[in-house]
Amino acid sequence: MEQYSEYTTLYVENSELSQEIEFTYRITNIVALGILELENKQEDIDFTKIEAVIDVRSLNRFPCVLFKVGDVSVIIFKNGKMIITGLKREDQIPEIKQQIEKVLTKARIKYTEFAISIQNFVAMTNLNKRINLEMACLTLMNCIYEPEQFPAAIIRDLEEGGAFLLFSNSKIICLGIRSVEHLENSLKNLIQQIYDFELVY
């Protein structure tokens, strides 16, 4: 399933009605980590060189600058590490990598290797039914719901290391999972439990 910016359809079983339940999700953001191996590892990146070739924004208290490549944000640190956000599809990475390399070449930043790896998928689905959050936290594992502090129930996915935010208006947001396969499996498992425990109405 390559077109992550589009809605993807999944199915779970409704044992009570003996039928499949269809729902869709879409990936809203991909967070990636960039590692730049500097030619001279003893020297930090000189941000003034980057500022000379592209508009940048300094982030207070952190030794880094932010610049935009289209709709994608790139935060680069002095040691060559980068945080890349705003990707919608995994197949965007080679093109974004080339555009970042153009900026680095213009800025005369010398490096020997540059790699980008996905760290986090952010996805959203909507069940179009209200979710009983109080009952969810009584029946679902690893669930926390403190409405006076945050309007969503938080469910930890201990196996995959991610988390789900369940809102009473039927919106579900997934954070922190590193692959689409794990995202889909975890999402299907959660929604299956929501229907099995009759948490929607």
On the question of pLDDT at 2 being above 50, the answer is: no
For domain 30-119, is the CATH number 3.30.310.10? yes
Would the CATH topology of 8-28+121-196 be identical to that of 30-119? Answer: yes
Instruction: In whole angstroms, give the CA distance from residue 22 to residue 102.
Output: 44
Output the pLDDT for position 15.
56
CATH topology for 8-28+121-196 is: TATA-Binding Protein (3.30.310)
pTM of the entire predicted model: 0.82
Output the pLDDT for position 16.
59
Domain range summary for the chain, segments of one domain joined by +: 8-28+121-196, 30-119
Radius of gyration in angstroms for the set of CA atoms belonging to the chain, rounded to a whole number: 21
At 25-51, the pLDDT tens digits run 999 999 999 999 999 888 899 999 999
pLDDT interval class at 59 (50, 70, 90): confident
Q: Report how far apart, in Å, the C-alpha atoms of 84 and of each of 35, 67, 154, 155 are.
A: 11, 10, 25, 26
pLDDT interval class at 18 (50, 70, 90): low
Output the pLDDT for position 3.
42
Instruction: In whole angstroms, give the CA distance from residue 86 to residue 89.
Output: 9
